[in-house]
Structure formats: structure tokens, C-alpha cells
Amino acid sequence: MSQLLHTMIRVGNLDRSIEFYTQVMGMKLLRKSENAEYKYTLAFVGFGEESTGQAVIELTYNWGTDSYDLGNGFGHLAIGEENIYQRCDAIAAAGGKITRAPGPVAGGTTEIAFVEDPDGYKIELIQKNAMTEGLG
């Protein structure tokens, strides 16, 4: 069976992004590699290794590029949480930016919240007990 392995996002400051995803979001730095010839560094972060069935995030830093136009095609990353209210409190206490407070989705009962990473990427937190039901 096929498996989703990772989502890649480009970041303007790799250390800042690693700190956000590990210290604020609670992920682990799984591995990091540098390619001097092509001037980029990759860091993979996640809650577990792909070999365990987890999807991870590949943070790509292209040397000398400190920001990107995020465009309007990419939506967000989504993370299931046991308690989005406590998680948002912890994220805010760690310096993270909550852009949508936890609560029911408009027109439904699924509880969600949104966080923004240092590069402006949106991360949706979904209450785990409803995350496979769709947003309704």
C-alpha cells in the first residue's frame, strides 16, 4: 500500500523554523542534510518517522533566500490533537501565533484552530475525536 511520506515547504530561516516546529509544535527533528554543491539544506520534522506510518514535513532552506511569496494555491498543514484548547494555550505560551482561536467550524461541530509558523504557513489543529469525519 502506498503511503504519504512528507510535505515540503520552503523556509527563509531554517534554524527559526526547526525551533518553531520542535519547541512550539512539539515535533522532533528527525534528520538534516546539507548540499553544498546546490546550496540548500533539508530538515525533516515530525511526530514520528515515516517508517512508522507518520507523515513528516520537509523544511527546505535554499541558501541566501530569506522569504517566499506563499501564493494562494497552498492551503495549510493539518494536525490532529487530543485537546486543541490546551494545545493552543501551550503554543501561545511558547510564543506561537494563534490565528483562529479553537472552536467549532462555521456551520458545523468539528472543533478546529489555526496557527501560523514563522514563514506564514498555516497549520490547522483538529480535535482528534472528529478528524476523520470531515469538517461538519
For residue 79, give every residue at least 6 positions away whose Cβ sits within 8 Å of its Cβ, in sequence order, or none.
Answer: 25, 123, 124, 125, 126
**CB-based burial label for 21 (10 Å; 0-12, 13-18, 19+):** buried
111 assigned to active site:
no
**CB-based burial label for 8 (10 Å; 0-12, 13-18, 19+):** exposed
Q: Which of 34, 37, 116, 124 is catalytic?
A: 124
Compute the 3-state secondary structure of the chain and give helix, strand, coil in percent, each to the nearest 5: 20, 40, 40
Matching residue, cell 494562494: 72
Do β-strands 40-46 and 97-104 pair in parallel, antiparallel, or remain unpaired? unpaired
Residues acting as catalytic residues? 124
